[in-house]
Structure 1
């Protein structure tokens, strides 16, 4: 099992070396997609980003990001989305969005993704974050305790057949299930990220 480290990807813009390593990792793991521009923007624009890496010796084997967000309480008449420029309301609940999660093809099925998720959850608990949301494979994330997130609306409309992929997890079972709409920072507001 590669050692899980919490830096230097944890805060701030990527260095050229870090950017090159991550770009190569994402290109290998997602040859038909290009999530790296989002990864770069998150590092540049989001304070308190939780960005963790898994190392196999000197080789970058995996990477995960948890973006700090809030769950905004919906009024009786649902807004299409929260005002992105408005300050969080006093009723907002701190949360995190898990994405992306990436493991190099040659290191998949070795528990690296699971280890990164656990390390991220530990970091989030230390920050006082208790709710995590993800848009991903229910079979995979269900093994990590995620359940369909029907009481939290995603920031953009989802294709109907993706609804079961929108999931949540609480890191504190004593807290009630959240209810509202996920308010995300600017890099996540592109509707194309939430559509096919």
Structure 2
């Protein structure tokens, strides 16, 4: 069991980093938020969050590139034939989701940040288990819907008030580390400017 706060903050941090590096994507998210909220500074409602479709794709692409929990383990409950191999009952299998999410057969140009990978027609053409940042099957994350709403609330709240810019001083590139949850060992450096 993982508490949702670690996975959520990991996703938010990496999303802010990617939005800083891709100002056109950031502008498109802000345009969507302006269509939803106009000049209002009211809090987001559940209905508003459902209408943040482009922001959802940005978050999905962030989780593809920086899956909060990139490695999961499963115990096999019965013998499984896999190609010419048999995985015996009782074995523990390590699933490296990060590698899955960077498979160029599933995600062409996997190092490119492209939220349009999650347009409905594109998603339909992919195997349902090609993308599983919240695990999958009977052991998937029970908080994934809540987590997605939480991430939308945080990012939309920041983008409604601030523009995300690169830091003024040179900062180290992201160096990924894993401590149950994916993190940047060098931190995530951005600068905020009032809108």
RCO comparison, higher one (Cα < 8 Å, 6+): 2
**Structure 1 and Structure 2 fold alike (TM over 0.5):** no
Which TM class, normalised by the smaller chain length? Answer: under 0.3
Flag the structure with larger Rg.
2
TM-score by length of 2: 0.27
TM-score by length of 1: 0.26
Higher helix share: 2
